[in-house]
């Protein structure tokens, strides 16, 4: 490759390695699968005329770049960025890799675009709260709940998710947060049983905690397993399993305290 973008990159292998490490760390923190991280970072490295290798660990990424003549070898390590799953940033980062490859963006332009993506503001907490509650009420309907059960699920999800937001903003442990939010939602949704409200109170109770199911980590774990990233797959699966156990414990505790029969 003899393009201007390639020549510029050959003079800045260290900068490219650092950029790719930051890029991969943010992509991993946003909930991308290992195969997507590999493909996107490799696409950028090849666009800048560099050979590339990456090692993905549950909490760190290791990026190596070198020239064909082995005159420059650079390694960069970054801790996986926090902040939770964000499909918007995930999609923007993937789009950036294609722009670098197809439109031959200069390195300075790529860095500027990356910083703009990092500064993307997340969806407002109130919007997420309302949409999550509506989605969970829709799940209740999907499983056969009547309108009264849907209303109960909406209100219990609204309260439980708000509690989750408050605890996470206060820096509480995510596992404790899931347990408390699940208990709160289950206790509120149990009013259908206690006061004989609606025709399907059991569906309202069962679906009131579905918003806490860590579906994306489970899906990513399977994807990483198929792509032979066993450490990341196992780590994501265990994290998701622990969160599922916590929300199950909260649901069972709510039923137990309110004296509901399990079977």
pLDDT at 2: 35
Residue 1, pLDDT above cutoff 80: no
**Residue 35 CB partners (closer than 8 Å, separation 6+):** 223, 224, 227, 229
pLDDT at 11: 45
Q: In Å, how far from its chain's centre is CA 64?
A: 25
pLDDT at 6: 43
Distance CA 149, CA 246 (A): 24
* Span 194-250, pLDDT tens digits: 888 888 888 999 899 999 999 999 999 999 999 999 999 999 999 999 999 999 999
pLDDT at 256: 87
| Helix, strand, or coil (residue 106) | coil
* Span 35-84, pLDDT tens digits: 999 999 999 999 998 999 999 999 999 999 988 776 678 899 999 987 78
Distance CA 170, CA 165 (A): 9
Please say whether the beta carbons of 249 and 209 come within 8 A. no
Please say whether the beta carbons of 34 and 100 come within 8 A. no
Q: What are phi and psi of 55, to 5 degrees?
A: -120, 125
């Amino acid at each position: 490759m003899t393009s201007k973008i390639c020549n510029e990159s050959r003079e800045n292998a260290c900068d490219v390695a650092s950029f790719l490490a930051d890029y991969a760390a943010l992509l991993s923190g946003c909930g991308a699968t290992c195969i997507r991280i590999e493909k996107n970072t490799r696409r950028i490295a090849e666009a800048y005329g560099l050979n590339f290798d990456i090692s993905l660990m549950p909490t760190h990424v290791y990026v190596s770049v070198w020239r064909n003549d082995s005159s420059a070898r650079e390694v960069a390590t970054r801790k996986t960025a926090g902040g939770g799953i964000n499909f918007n940033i995930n999609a923007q980062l993937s789009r950036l890799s294609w722009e670098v490859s197809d439109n031959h963006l200069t390195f300075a332009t790529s860095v500027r675009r990356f910083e703009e993506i990092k500064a993307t503001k997340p969806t407002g907490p109130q919007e997420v709260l309302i949409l999550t509650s509506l989605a969970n009420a829709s799940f209740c309907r999907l499983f056969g709940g009547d309108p009264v059960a849907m209303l109960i699920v909406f209100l219990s999800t609204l309260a439980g998710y708000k509690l989750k937001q408050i605890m996470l903003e206060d820096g509480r442990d995510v596992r404790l947060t899931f347990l408390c939010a699940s208990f709160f939602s289950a206790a509120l949704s149990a009013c259908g049983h206690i006061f004989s409200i609606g025709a399907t109170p059991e569906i309202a109770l069962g679906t009131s905690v579905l918003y806490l199911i860590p579906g994306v980590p489970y899906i990513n774990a399977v994807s990483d397993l198929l792509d032979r990233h066993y450490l990341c797959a196992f780590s994501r699966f265990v994290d998701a399993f622990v969160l599922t156990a916590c929300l199950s414990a909260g649901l069972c505790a709510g039923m137990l305290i309110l004296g509901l029969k399990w079977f």
